[in-house]
Amino acid sequence: MKTVPFNKKELIELLLADMRSRKLLMGLEKAGLSSEDFYTGLCYIILGKMGFDGRKDEAIYIWYEETMQTILEQELFYFREKQQQLAKRMYQLLVEKKYEIYPAGTNPRKAAALRLLEWFVKR
């Protein structure tokens, strides 16, 4: 996994787009319409830009999906009023998660290898 500096403003805009799309799809599903074919997959782009590999690291993908679902369970009125703040909070949660998994100053590959080793030792 290659570590690249990420653009906060761009990521917040992507998060906002993902949240809006998901909220719309949730509404369509509540109305009884199938929306499976319209899922954008923005989460993979977002996770990739943050330095995660959401396709390989299932735990990050699951965490992202669950966190996003929790955020979007808000009423539509609340979501419309607070969507910018919600996107900024999701960004902050992603930054915290990144530093939890890849401690500052640590090579991401080395950090992943250390996590794998720790997992083997715990078994």
* pLDDT for residue 68: 92
CB burial of residue 71 (10 Å; 0-12, 13-18, 19+): buried
Q: Is the pLDDT of residue 2 over 50?
A: no
Domain ranges in the chain are: 8-122
In whole angstroms, give the CA distance from residue 15 to residue 3: 20
* pLDDT for residue 19: 95
Structure confidence by residue, pLDDT tens digits, 9-58? 999 999 999 999 999 988 888 888 877 778 888 998 999 888 886 556 78
